[in-house]
Each structure stands twice: as C-alpha cells, then as structure tokens.
C-alpha cells in the first residue's frame, strides 16, 4: 500500500461549525504533514508531525488544531473558520522528516460559508 | 530563509518536443534536497524527480532530467519527447522540514 488517503474529498461548513479532516497512511511512515493550497497558488506548509509529536507549526491560527493519534493517522480539527480559509488541504507523509520523498494524498476541498 | 523562485508562470510545448522549466533557490545550507512535483488538474501532487545537493551528477528519470547548478543555485527541469499527459502545474521545491514550493509553472502541451 503506497498511498495516502484523505477524507472527506469535499467539505462545506459554516463559520460556527466544528469539523475534522482525516488523513491515513499504511506505509509505516513516521512523519506526516498538512499543507494548505489556495487556488492558483503553491501548497503552503502548515504542520509537521514526527513520531506522533508536533515538530513544526508554521504560525497557523489556533482555529486549526492538528492531532496525530497514532503513526498512521493525522487529523486536522477545524473550528470557527473564516471564508478565507477555503482551500485545498493536502496531507503528505514520509518515512521520517529527514527522508527526502513525501507522498501526497488527493486533498480535501474545503469551502467555508 | 530559503526561497524558491519560478519565473515562468506559463510555458507551452508542442507534443514530442523538449521544454525546460526554470527554478532558482536561495539557501545558506550546503547539503539539501531539491524536487520537482507535478500537479495535474486532478490536484494530486506527484513527484517527478529529486536531486541531492551533494551529488554532482544531474538526476534523470526517463524523459525527465534536471540541470543542477549548485553555485548558481539553479535547478531546471527538462522534459523530452513531451506528451499530452505532461500538461500540468509544475512546482519546484526545497526540502526544509516540509516542502517549500515555488509559485509554479503551468505547462500546456499542444497536439
């Protein structure tokens, strides 16, 4: 199994809702990542987890709350989002943070109304 | 800080021809990794090729090759025998923690 899966594929939420994005990999990777990609822009790194511990937070607003419950699963909890948070959210994984290849999931397209 | 610059927002190539996409980067580190990723309309990010800075030999993957000029901090991607399936956004990236991407180049392949 060499893929990263993300659910849901699409999500529409109001500014007062609480929702979660899920990312899963079964490649035995110990590093996982969240990226945000706005339309016609490159992906921007949000968070890095290494061995289930948060190692990088790129000054992301607290309305985005990551969680890594085990080595295969990465969640992104969303609360009180703004319309400008609408974007494609990409998850990726690699063997370890220092490993050079990242595998990307297909993304979750989020729309905040 | 590390930055990645792609100066060509759009490029076009005739099918079966060769095209080169440009990328420059800035870093104070001596050992690092550089990547080219492809993002087709499906939005799935696909690794095209990678280069380790300490290796002087340019990386090659089938029709894809790079011209890595470490002193000039230049990392261009050459696509030979272009195919319709090569049409996509191409991102140059520098690895530091996570990937740090350039702005991207949209490649169109004309039949």
Q: What residues of B are in the A interface, CB distance below 8 Å?
A: 33, 35, 37, 42-47, 50, 52, 91, 95, 97-104
Question: Nearest 5 degrees, angle CA A90-CA A95-CA A98?
Answer: 95
Q: Which residues contact A99 (CB under 8 A, 6 or more apart)?
A: A31
Going by C-alpha positions, the residue among B53, B55, B50, B54 that lies closest to residue B65 is: B50
**How many other C-beta atoms lie within 10 A of the C-beta of residue B37?**
24
What is the pLDDT at residue B20? 98
B60-61 and B64-69: which strand pairing? antiparallel
What is the pLDDT at residue B56? 82
8 Å CB contact of A90 and B45: yes
Q: B21-77, pLDDT tens digit by residue?
A: 999 999 888 888 999 999 999 888 999 999 998 888 999 999 999 999 999 999 999
Structure tokens at A15: 């500014």
Assess whether pLDDT exceeds 70 at residue B2: no
Q: Report how far Cα A11 is from the mean position of its chain's Cα atoms.
A: 14
Question: By the 8 A CB rule, do B92 and B39 touch?
Answer: no
Closest CB from B33, B97, B104 relative to A100: B33
8 Å CB contact of B44 and A43: no
Residue in chain A closest to B10 (alpha carbons) equals: A40
8 Å CB contact of B97 and A102: no
The residue behind tokens 């948070």 is A85
Phi first, then psi: what are they for A28, rounded to 5°?
A: 75, 15
What is the pLDDT at residue A34? 98
What is the pLDDT at residue B1? 57
Measured between beta carbons, the chain A residues lying within 8 angstroms of B98 are: 33, 35, 45, 48, 56, 92, 102
8 Å CB contact of B44 and A35: no
Assess whether pLDDT exceeds 60 at residue B94: yes
What is the pLDDT at residue A97? 83
What is the pLDDT at residue A101? 86
CA distances, A89 to each of A7, A22, A112, B84, B105 (Å): 10, 10, 13, 27, 20
What is the pLDDT at residue B47? 94
Structure tokens at A26: 């079964």
Question: By the 8 A CB rule, do B19 and B13 touch?
Answer: yes
What is the pLDDT at residue A72? 95
8 Å CB contact of A101 and B47: yes
What is the pLDDT at residue B23? 98
Can you give the three-state secondary structure of chain B, one letter per residue?
A: CCEEECCCCEEEEECCCCEEECCEEECCCCCCEEEEEEECCCCCCEEEEEEECCCCCCCEECCEEEEEECCCCEEEEEECCCCHHHCEEEEEEEEECEEEECCCEEEEEEC
Specify the higher pLDDT residue, B21 or B96: B21
What is the pLDDT at residue A96? 86
What is the pLDDT at residue A99? 66
Q: B7-21, pLDDT tens digit by residue?
A: 999 999 999 999 999
Structure tokens at B98: 């996570």
8 Å CB contact of A41 and B45: no
Which residues in chain A land under pLDDT 70? Answer: 1-2, 99
């Amino acid at each position: 199994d060499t893929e990263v899966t993300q659910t849901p594929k699409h999500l529409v939420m109001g500014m007062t809702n609480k929702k979660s994005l899920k990312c899963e990999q079964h490649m035995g990777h110990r590093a996982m990542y969240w990226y945000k990609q706005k339309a016609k822009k490159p992906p921007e790194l949000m968070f890095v987890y290494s061995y289930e511990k948060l190692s990088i937070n790129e000054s992301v607003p607290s309305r985005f709350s990551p969680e890594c419950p085990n080595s295969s699963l990465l969640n992104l909890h969303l609360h009180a989002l703004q319309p400008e948070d609408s974007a494609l959210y990409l998850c990726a994984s690699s063997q370890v943070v220092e490993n050079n290849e990242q595998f990307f999931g297909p993304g979750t397209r989020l729309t905040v109304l | 800080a590390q930055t990645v610059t792609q100066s060509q927002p759009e490029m076009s190539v005739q099918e079966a021809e060769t095209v080169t996409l440009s990328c420059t980067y800035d870093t104070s580190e001596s050992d690092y990794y550089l990547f080219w990723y492809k993002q087709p309309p499906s939005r799935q990010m696909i690794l095209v090729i990678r280069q380790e800075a300490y290796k002087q030999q340019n990386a090659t993957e089938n029709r894809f090759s790079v011209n890595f000029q470490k002193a000039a901090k230049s990392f261009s991607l050459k696509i030979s025998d272009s195919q319709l399936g090569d049409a996509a956004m191409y991102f140059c990236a520098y690895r530091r923690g996570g990937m740090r991407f350039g702005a991207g180049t949209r490649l169109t392949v004309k039949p």
